[in-house]
Amino acid sequence: MSGTVTPDICVIGAGSAGLSVAAAAAAFGVEVVLIEKGEMGGDCLNHGCVPSKALLSAAREAVLRPVAFSEAQKNVRRAIEAIAPHDSASRFEELGVTVLRSAAEFVSAHCVRAGDVDIRARRFVIATGSRPAIPAIPGLESVPYVTNETLFGLDRLPDHLIVLGGGAIGIEMAQAHRRLGSRVTVLEAGKALGREDPEMAAIVLDALRKEGVVIRENTCVTGVTSSGVEIAVSLLQDGRDVETLSGSHLLVATGRRPSVEGLGLEKAGIRYGPGGIHIDDGLRTSNRRVYAIGDVTGGPQFTHAANYQAGLVIRSALFRLPVKASSSGLPRVLYTAPELGHAGLSEEEARKKYGARVRVVSASYSGNDRAVTENLTTGRLKLIAGPGGRLIGAEIAGAQAGELINSLSLAIFAKMTMRDLAGFVTPYPTLGELIRRAALSYYADVPRRLWVRRLLAFLRLFG
């Protein structure tokens, strides 16, 4: 294909965000061009959510029976292959989307070039995602390290996996490989799971440590070397102790960086920086013809966040409706065992915003009958109530936290109160009762209030 095309919408990037925009626009009969230079499905399908959760699934099975690494990798490939047709170029072409498998570059404020094709669209959507951020550690460039983009291609189980980074990717992969039989050491410059509620993070990290994962916090990596057989990492812990740690494999999981290289953003008048493409509340760039969504903006790096933004772009670009993106209420889940779920404001954020009007209530898994019957008593659920008892945040560390947080995320968006949650009727026995139990504790002091007792005494006078 060559020449010039003039679609209504041109989407750059066929990851979760880009595919969602392209599919939705095509469903409305809009002419769409989708450009992707790499793998269809982007990071989520090929290197992120899908393979990591498939590996974690195999690792959970390994707790019950021995699971060979080859079997675990087969499970990863099976999951990718099962989902790939949904994200394939052929499926999108059947939907009416023109798919160009090439690099995209803006050549002006109104035109993108992909191979021999110039695309002059009414609106453009940049959804090129992100890539692993590689820290500037002396010697790292000369050793055979892996990232999430290459980890799932290993042909043998690491004997000793050293993980740089104690965030979500590092912690999830640490537990998965430990359960599959690797020795695992996590090195974190600050606090592991540092963005999470400290109480909830401690529950997860304690569980990993009990499984044999070594987690070293406040540890700085000062250099890396390789002997050809092992990788040696020089460490500085708490600013004083120096030692060398050796392992068979090194996983770099120190965050991600927006993918903006080669897009010709300057030619299109699109402002960007190290943190990604600059956008306004309506997801528009400094070029009003161009939207940017997903990881490339430096915002929340979640597939569900990208899909949420894609829906807003459709409303704005097709129907010209005003939209305002917000990430404050978006849920997130860490898929370890136990899981960790978060929605809304953290306790710290809530107290900064509302001060003394914040109340925090909680319920322990050990007090939940379903958790007891399933031997899943490790964990806690926390509800954060703001003025008027409105739910403004939730934290869960425990079994099925990822499922439970769905209900609480909806409750936050619906501006429900502790009264609403306390009146919530759940089947018995289920983990969902944790929500009601925590909400009921919000009113635990009501029976002791003097005016309540006087009211009851007065009502008793009438028989």
Tens-place pLDDT, residues 46-55: 999 999 999 9
Q: How far is CA 278 from CA 270, 296, 318, 374, 448, in A?
A: 8, 9, 22, 48, 54
Q: What is the pLDDT of residues 167-221, one digit of tens each?
A: 999 999 999 999 999 999 999 999 999 999 999 999 999 999 999 999 999 999 9
With 80 as the cut, is the pLDDT of residue 346 above it?
yes
**What is the pTM for the complete model shown?**
0.94
Within a 13 Å sphere around the CA of 296, how many CA atoms are in the beta-carbon half? 30
What range defines the domain where residue 442 resides? 332-448
Instruction: Please tell me whether residues 119 and 197 are part of one structural domain.
Output: no
Instruction: Please tell me whether residues 376 and 438 are part of one structural domain.
Output: yes
Region 254-268: what's the mean pLDDT? 97
Q: Which residues contact 268 (CB under 8 A, 6 or more apart)?
A: 106, 108, 109, 287, 290
Instruction: Please tell me whether residues 127 and 224 are part of one structural domain.
Output: no
Q: Is residue 58 part of a domain?
A: no
Instruction: Please tell me whether residues 344 and 408 are part of one structural domain.
Output: yes
Instruction: Please tell me whether residues 351 and 442 are part of one structural domain.
Output: yes
Instruction: Please tell me whether residues 162 and 281 are part of one structural domain.
Output: no
Instruction: Please tell me whether residues 262 and 128 are part of one structural domain.
Output: yes
Instruction: Please tell me whether residues 127 and 8 are part of one structural domain.
Output: yes
Strands of 111-114's sheet in order across: 3-5, 117-119, 111-114, 104-108
Q: Is residue 47 part of a domain?
A: no
Number of domains forming the structure of the chain:
3
Q: What is the pLDDT of residues 14-43, one digit of tens each?
A: 999 999 999 999 999 999 999 999 999 999
- Percentage of the chain modeled with pLDDT above 70: 99
Q: Which residues contact 324 (CB under 8 A, 6 or more apart)?
A: 281, 282
Q: How far is CA 410 from CA 320, 327, 393, in A?
A: 27, 14, 11
Q: Which residues contact 462 (CB under 8 A, 6 or more apart)?
A: none
Vertex 426: Cα angle to 421 and 432 (nearest 5): 75
The whole-number pLDDT of residue 452 equals 66
Burial class (CB in 10 A: 0-12, 13-18, 19+), 134: middle
